[in-house]
Amino acid sequence: MQRPLTMLCSAWLAASLHAAQPGSPAITTGTLLGEMADLERLARWPSPAYQTIQFSSFDRRSTTSDAPGWFSNADGFGREPVPGFMRVLRTPRGGQPGLYLVAAVKGPGAIVRGWSAGMRGLLRVVLDPGPDGAEQRQGTLVWQGPAYEFLARRSGQLAKQAGLELDAGDAFTQQDADYLPIPFARGLWVTWEGRLNELHFYHLQVRRYAEGTAVRTFDPKRDLREFEAPLRQAAQRLTQPAPQAAGEPVPFEGALEPGRSWAWSPDAKGPGAIRELKLRLEAEALDAAWRGCLWRIAFDGSQRPQVEAPVGDFFGSGPGVNPFSSLPFDVAPDGTMTCRFVMPYADSVRLELVNFTAGPVRLSGTVRLSPWTWDDRSLHFRAKWRADHDLLAGAGVIDLPCLVAIGQGVFAGCAAMIMNPSGVPTAGGNWWGEGDEKILVDGELTPSTFGTGSEDYFNYSWSRPDLFDHPYCGQPLDSGPDTAGYVSNHRFQIMDAIPFERSLAMFMELWSHNRTPALSYARLAYAYLRPGTVDDHRGLMPSDLRIPTLPLRLPVAAGGAAGARFHLIEQLRPEATAGTVQTVPSRLATRLRVTHWQAERGAKLKIAVPVDNDGPLALHLVAVHRPDGATVRVSWDGILLKPTAEGDTVRLRSAHQPRLLNVHFKPVDTRAGTRELALECVEPGTVGLDYLWIKKP
C-alpha cells in the first residue's frame, strides 16, 4: 500500500537511523538475482537491513482499524470515491486521461514484486528521478508502456528489450505477478496515465535500504546482459530447487497408535541447521492422518514449539494429498512431503509427531543437517497453524489474525486452507476471499502492506478455480464447483520478505460474496523470529485438527448463476444403454451423493430435462472429475453441445484428487417441453453427476 507522503518521510527517517555497514559490497541486479532462491538468507537478520513496503490500489477510505471505512473495498474496479493512488498529478479534463502517482521512494531500494489483475493505461517507471519526478535530466526510464506488462510480465519484456532469449519457465512470472528485481540508488518514481473508470488493480512491492547503502541502479540496456549468468542460474534454482549446503540424509521412522507420540533429536548437541526434511505417512485414512497428526518442532529446548501445525498443512497441502512443487516445499503424488526452509538452532532441535486420529499411523523420513554459526543475527524458524471452524461468512467483514508477534523477525509467507460450503456454483457468488491482507510493522496504525483481495495476495486474480504451482505461490486444491468446497492457497515471501524490529501483525479479511454458514478458515504463517519473540499462538487442541465436512445444501441462483434453474440429476432418473447407474455418496456434492455411471465406450446416458420456455439457453453441468473419469460427448435433443473449452468432447478427469467442476456449454436454441440431455461415452471410465443448471445467456 502507499501511505501519505508525510508518513513515508517519517518512516524513512526512522529507517535511516540504521546506518549501512561501511565497505559492504554494492547491491546490484546480480546480487538480488542471487537472493531469489537463497533460503538460508531468511534465517539471519538481513544485512544490509531493509524495509519492505507495498504500494497498491487499496481503498483510500481505509485508514486505521477503529476509523470509518476500514473495510472499504473500492480498490481498482474503477470509479472509486477516492482514487487509489498516492496523489493526483493531473486531473482528467476534456476526455483526456488523468495522471496519478503510483509510487515514490527517496533513497536506495529495489522493486521486488509487481502484480496486477489487468491494469490498463500507461505506466512510467523512473529510477533515480529528480525532485517530484523531474527525470528528464538525471533519471533512468526503465518502462513506459502498458501497466500490466510491467507489473505482471516485466521479466520477459525487459529480457526481450535487452536482446536475450530467456526461457525461464515460471521462475520470475508467477500467475499475475513478476519477481524480476530492479534496484535503484537514489529513488523511484512511478506514474500511471489512465482513466479511473477502467480497471487499475495493482501491487508494487519495494525494499527500502538505509541511506548510505551502496546500490547500483538497474540499467535496462546493460544489466540483464551483464548478469545473464546469475539470471539463468536463478531461473534454474527456482524451478529445480535443492537444499543448500546439506549433509547426508539421516533416516528416521516410527509407528504411532492413537493418542501416542513419536520424537527424534540428533545425537550431537551444539549449533546446527536443518536444511531439508522429508516425511511420509502411512494410514488407512490418509487424509485424516495428514490433518489429525500434529507436527511440532522445538528449537533450543523451547517448551512452546516454534512449529506447531497439522503435518499436511505445514507442508502446504491441506486437507489431503494435493501435489505441488515450490521453492521451500514439495508434495509428491505418493504423499512424500519435502521442506527446504532452513531451520537453525543454537544447541538442540526436537521433531515430534502426535497422533490424534482414531487409527494407527506409520511415519518415515529423512533429515539433512549442517553446521551453523549461531550469532546475534540468527533467527528461529516459526510456523504455527490456527483454524476458525463454523464461521458465518457474509454476516459482516472481519479481520482474521494470521500472526501477531512482538519482537524482531522476518515474515516469510502465509498459507490458507478454506472449506467454503456455498451452494452458488460460480465464483461470482460463492467467492470467500474478497477481503484484503493487512500487515502492520513496528507499531504502525495504517498498514505498510494493504492488499486488494485474498487471491491478489496469493498472486492470482478474479477468484480463479484453476490449480497451479510456482516457486513462490500455488493453489494445489480447489474441489469446486469454482471456488466452493475445499481450497488451499499459499505464498512464500522470499524476495518480498518483511523484516520487523519491534512487532508485526498480519491479518486477512474474511469477506464473502454471500451469507455462508459453517465456513472454515485455517491459516499458517511462516516467519523467522529472534529467540524471546512473543506471538499470539494459543496452542492446538485435538478438536482443531479435523477436516470440516461439507454440509447438505441446495444450489443457489446467485452471482454468475443468478436467474438459473437447477435440476438435480438424481431426481431426473437418468437411464443408460449400458453400464451401471446408481446413486453413491460424495463428500463434495450438494446433496452429498451423486449419480454414478460406469460408462462403457459407445454407451449413452439419457436424461429427460423439463424446459419452461422457448428460446436460447446456456447449459452448465456440475460433474465429478477424477483420475479414472470418462470422456464423453454431450448432446441436447440430438444436437452436439459445444463446450466453452476447446474441442467437442468433455474429459471428466483430474490428475489427483476428485473435483466437482462446472462443464459450461455454448448457448443452444431450444423449445419448451421435455428435452433430452445425452452423454455418449468416448473413453470408458467413471461419470459422476450432481446437477444441471440452465439460464438465459
Q: Are residues 420 and 312 in the same domain?
A: no
**Averaged over 565-576, what is the pLDDT?**
97
552 within some domain? no
- Of 490, 461, 491, the C-alpha closest to 477 is 490
- pLDDT given for residue 289 in this prediction: 97
pLDDT at residue 131 in the model:
78
**CB neighbour list of residue 534: distance below 8 Å, 6 or more residues apart:** 405, 406, 407
User: Is the domain of 31 the same as that of 180?
Assistant: yes
Give mean pLDDT, residues 500-506. Answer: 98
> Which among 584, 583, 654, 661 is positioned nearest to 622, based on CA atoms?
661
Please report the DSSP string for 180-213 in residue order: --EEESSEEEEEEEE-TTS----EEEEEEEPTT-
Mean pLDDT along residues 668-681: 96
User: Averaged over 429-444, what is the pLDDT?
Assistant: 97
If asked whether residues 66 and 151 sit together in one domain, one would say: yes
pLDDT digits (tens, 9 = 90+) for 247-277: 899 999 999 999 999 999 999 899 999 999 9
CATH code at 575?
2.60.120.260
Residues 416 and 332 in one domain: no
Whether residue 546 lies inside any domain: the answer is no
Is residue 558 domain-resident?
no
Band (pLDDT 50/70/90 cuts) for residue 3 is: very low
Averaged pLDDT for residues 464-477: 97
State whether 174 and 83 are in the same domain. yes
Neighbours of 274 (CB within 10 A): 25
Whether 16 has a pLDDT exceeding 90, the answer reads no
| Residue 237 binned pLDDT confidence (cut-offs 50, 70, 90) | very high
pLDDT in tens, 288-328: 999 999 999 999 999 999 999 999 999 998 899 999 999 99
CA distance 490 to 415: 4
Residue 328 lies in a domain: yes
Task: Give the pLDDT of residue 646.
Answer: 80
> Quick one: 198 and 289 in the same domain?
no
With respect to residue 391, please indicate whether it lies within any of the assigned structural domains: yes
So what's the pLDDT on residue 166? 87
Task: With residue 440 as reference, give the H or E element that holds it.
Answer: strand 437-441
Q: Does the structure show a pLDDT above 50 at 650? A: yes
- Rounded Cα distance between 142 and 236, Å, is 25
The total domain count for the chain is 4
Report, as an integer, the average pLDDT of 396-409: 97
Sign of CA dihedral 61, 64, 67, 72: positive
In 97-152, beta strands by DSSP E: 98-106, 109-115, 122-127, 140-146
Q: What angle do CA 587, 480, 422 make, to 5 degrees?
A: 80
Q: Pick the last residue of a domain from 378, 394, 412.
A: 378
Please give the Cα distance from 491 to 415 (Å, whole number).
Answer: 6
CB neighbour class for 466 (10 Å; exposed up to 12, middle 13-18, buried from 19): exposed
Q: Which of 409, 159, 170, 386 has the alpha carbon at shortest distance from 294?
A: 386
Distances, alpha carbon 62 to alpha carbons 166, 441, 639, 657, in Å: 41, 17, 53, 40
Same domain, residue pair 114 and 222? yes
Q: What is the pLDDT of residue 24?
A: 74
* DSSP code at position 542: G
> Which residues constitute the domain of residue 499?
379-538
- pLDDT (mean) for 487-507: 98
> Within this chain, do residues 65 and 210 fall inside the same structural domain, yes or no?
yes
Task: Among 224, 239, 254, identify where a domain stops.
Answer: 239
My answer on whether 468 and 393 are in the same domain is: yes
Model's pTM, two decimal places? 0.95
Mean pLDDT value of segment 164-182? 95
Q: What is the CATH number of the domain that holds 472?
A: 2.60.120.1390
Mean pLDDT over each residue of the chain, to the nearest integer? 94
Q: Which pLDDT score, from 0 to 100, does residue 9 have?
A: 41
Q: Residue 137's pLDDT is what?
A: 54
- 340 domain residue, yes or no: yes
Same domain, residue pair 166 and 259: no
545 lies in a domain? no
Residue 549 domain flag: no
Q: By percentage, how much of the chain surpasses pLDDT 90?
A: 92
Domain end point (choices 222, 239, 256)? 239
Q: Is pLDDT above 80 for 8?
A: no
Does 230 lie in the same domain as 260? Answer: no
Quick one: 230 and 96 in the same domain? yes
